[in-house]
Structures are given as C-alpha cells and as structure tokens.
Structure 1
C-alpha cells in the first residue's frame, strides 16, 4: 500500500490534468487579442468577450437558453417533488416502474430523444413552439431533480413530522412547516442541476428548435460550422464560468459528495 501511494497519486494527478487541460486552454485562448485561435502570448485582451455581448444572435440565444432553463427546471421540480414523496413514503403497485420512468431519460441517448420528439411534433403540427421545447427539456432534466430530492427524503429524520402529527398538526401544515424546509436543500440543488443541464443541452435541442427559439449551445454549433475564431472560446469560457458558479452553489446547498453517491 505504501508503494502504491505515490503511483496512485501521480495517476490521479494525470487524470485531473487530462480533464482540465482542454478547458484551461479554451479559457486562455478567449483572452487573446489575435484574430485566430492562439494563446495570448502578447498580452491579455477582453476583445472577444466584448464581441460576444455585441453579437445580437448570441445575446438572443442566451436569452432563449436562460428562459428555457428557468422554465424547464421549475417544471421538473414541480413534478419531481410529489413523485419523490410518493416513491419514498408510500408502498404501491408500480412504484419501481414509476421511478424507472422518471429516471429513464438518463439512459436514453439524447439523439434518440431528439429524433422522437421531432417526429412527434411533426405529426402534431406543433414543431418550433417554445412551449414544446420547454416540455422536452423538462422531461430530460427531471431525473437530475428527482435524484437529489430522493436523496434528501431518504436521509430525512421523520421524528419531527411524527411529533407534529401527534400534537394535532394537519398534513398540509406538517408538509409546509417541517417536510419542505428539511427537503429544501435537495429541491434547491436539484433545481440548480436541472437548470445547468437544460442550459447546456445541445444534441436534443438541435432537432426541436426553430429559428426563433435557437438556444445558445445550438447557436454555438451553427457558428462553429461556419467559422472558427476566438469568439467561440469566449462564449465557451462564459459557459464554463456559469457552470462552475452553479456547481459551487450546488455544493454549498447540498454537497457534491452526496450528489455523486446518490444518498445522504
């Protein structure tokens, strides 16, 4: 064990460097003053960040992604809370099937989901609607919300709830004053995780967006297919910063270690 310690540490360090190196390079390139993808050896510049904020298409797509992520994360949370309560608190026929149904978007490739939703909306004549785009994203991000809420409920001490009922509190009062505050870290963390996954979703969004509902990841894909310049690195850096801030908030509210193991 003593001999393997330094080897394991070196291996883990290499894995971390391998994972972080591409993001570090992209972030550095975003500060280049040059017109091509190059490291900022001649000094740092905010030129390409300014270009992003002055690019009408990128700003419009950013607004679409923010609205989409806010709505889809909220809708998924609204459905995940009662579903998690039912799965953890009640024993009924089909409980495992219900849990599997809500978590199934995790194992179905988003390419398959995108093609399926595109075909469905075409048959219904509802293609290009922002409302249907919100619905598809809510379906995709619900497993993330549900998982954290399930973890929160599983680790919850129910003695306070039982004591309140013994003292004559109504079920709604118990839920509002005790259950919800105790599960709030899981609800908040699930909402944040759903938000960032919706904001970053690309594969499925390509199939269900329209010219008026193009999201930021789709806009980046379209822009990259036409030209490659440091503006893409600047947009990527902003998205990395947003994801990092969200994960920091998620860690403070719920704990990333609890998220990764899926239990309290």
Structure 2
C-alpha cells in the first residue's frame, strides 16, 4: 500500500509539474531584459512590463477585455439563474431541450460559432458593434454559469423557503433573502469562470471584433504575427496574475471547494 501511495504521489506531482511548467517559464521569461525570448536569463528586469503599459493598443485592448468579460459574465448570470431554477424545480415540456440549448456552446467549436456569428452580424448589419461582441461572449460563457447554478441547486433544502412563504414572504422576497444567498457560491463561481473564459477567448473573438473593439487575446495574436519578443510573455504573465488573484479572492470569500461543488 505504501508503494502504491508513493507511486500515486509521484504520478500526480509529475502531472502538476507538466501543467505548471509552461506558466512558470512564461513568468520567468517576462522578467528578462533581453530582446528575445531566452531562458535562462542573466538578470531580471521590469523592462517589458513597462513596455506593455506604455503600449496604447495593449492598454485599450485590456480595458476592452475587462468590460466585455464583466458584462458578458453578468448577462450570463441574469439568464442562467432563472433558467437553472426552472430546469431544476419544474417539469415542463421542453425542459431537456432548454437545458441542451443553454449548454450547446460547449460542444460547438469556437471556430464554427465565430463564422456563424460573423455571418449573422453581417446579415443584421451590426459588424463591429461592442454590444454584439458582448452578446457573443455571453453566449459562450453561459454554460459555465448554468452548470454551477444547477450544481448549487442539487440537493437544495427548500425548508427555509417554505418557512419564509408560511410567514407571508413574497416569491421575490424568498428568492432575494433565502434562495439567492444559499446558492451565492455557485452563482459567484459561475460568474468568475465566465469572466475568465470571456477574458481569454480568442478564436471566436477574431471573427466578431472590429478595430475599435479588439480584445486583449486578439491583440496578442495580432502582435505575435508581426513580432515575437518578451512583451508577449509580460502580457501573458499579467493575465496569469489576474486569473490567480481572482481565484484567490473567490477562495477567501467563499472557499473554492464550496464554489466548485456548488454548495452554499
């Protein structure tokens, strides 16, 4: 048994190292003072981080991504919470079809979805619209929110809701004061996953962005086609840091185990 446990520990350590190694390399290279992506580096410098913040295109694209990710994740929550409640609590014709519809972006390749949305926006005459870009991102991140909302509702003890109704609380008051706080870890975790996926989305965004709405991943892709230098590593390191900070805040506020399991 001890030998099997040791082998399992070694295996899991190698898997974690394999996953984290590229991220660690990127973060180290981001601090190089050299003009090329080299490792090992002779010294450490903030040169390329300063270059990122001094590059107006990267700064503008960063804020575009922040706004798109924030709005799309919020829209996904607005649609997923009532949809999750309906799917979990009511048996109605088309319930399974509704569930499949909301989850379908997970099985549709981003390339196919991007081409389809590009054609749709061309027919509607709204190419390059910021609002439609946000809607496109909301479509692809909604499944993440819905799955965590449904997970939070699984095994949900409705006795507190019934007690509130018995005391005369309205349906909206019950939801606001009882249901929502109990499933808040699932909602928050879904919002965060939606935000991260929207912020990192590249394939679909290439088709639906315009020069005025270029997101950060698209800007990085465009920059990489022209030049490969440590600035790309610096931008990547900043994105890794942003994601890590978001996960840390979520863990401190609710606990990642509660969020991922979806239990209040």
Q: Does TM-score exceed 0.5, indicating one fold?
A: yes
C-alpha separation between the residues in 2 aligned to 1:15 and 1:207? 34
Q: Tell me the residue number matched to 1:100.
A: 100
Q: Pairwise mapping of residues 207-246 of structure 1 onto structure 2 (< 5 A)?
A: 207-246=207-246
Deviations 1:149-193 (A, max 9, x none): 111122422111111111222212211211111122211111111
Farther off after superposition, 90-99 or 246-255:
246-255
Q: Distance in 2 between matches of 1:166 and 1:98?
A: 31
Q: 1:149 — aligned with what?
A: 149
Compare 181-190 and 224-233 and name the one that shifted more: 181-190
Root-mean-square deviation (Å): 1.7
Cα distance per residue 1:60-88 (max 9 Å; x no partner): 10011011011101111111111011111
Secondary structure at the residue paired with 1:179?
Answer: helix
Q: CA deviation at 1:41?
A: 3.2
Q: List gaps (5 residues or longer) in structure 2.
A: none
Q: TM-score, normalised by structure 2?
A: 0.95
Preserved CA contact (<8 Å) 1:188 1:253: no
Could you tell me whether the CA contact under 8 Å between 2:141 and 2:197 is conserved in 1?
yes
Provide structure 1 residue ranges, at least 5 long, that are not aligned to the other structure.
none
Whether 1:173 aligns to 2:179 is no
In the TM superposition, residue 249 of structure 1 has moved relative to its aligned partner by 2.9
Say yes or no: does 1:24 pair with 2:53.
no
* Residues 112-131 of structure 1: pairs in structure 2 closer than 5 A: 112-131=112-131
Contact 1:189 1:253 in 2 (8 A): no
Per-residue CA distance 1:25-47 (angstroms, 9 max, x = gap): 00000000111112363221111
In the alignment of these two chains, the number of paired residues is 264
Do the aligned residues in 2 keep the contact of 1:87 with 1:95 (CA within 8 Å)? yes
Give me the whole-angstrom Cα distance separating, in 2, the residues matched to 1:17 and 1:112.
Answer: 33
Instruction: Give the Cα–Cα distance (whole angstroms) in 1 for the partners of residues 124 and 18 of structure 2.
Output: 46
Instruction: Tell me if structure 2 keeps the 8 A contact 1:147–1:262.
Output: no
* More off after superposition, 223-232 vs 35-44: 35-44
- The whole-number CA distance in structure 1 between the counterparts of 2:41 and 2:70 is 39
- TM-score of the pair, normalised by structure 1: 0.95
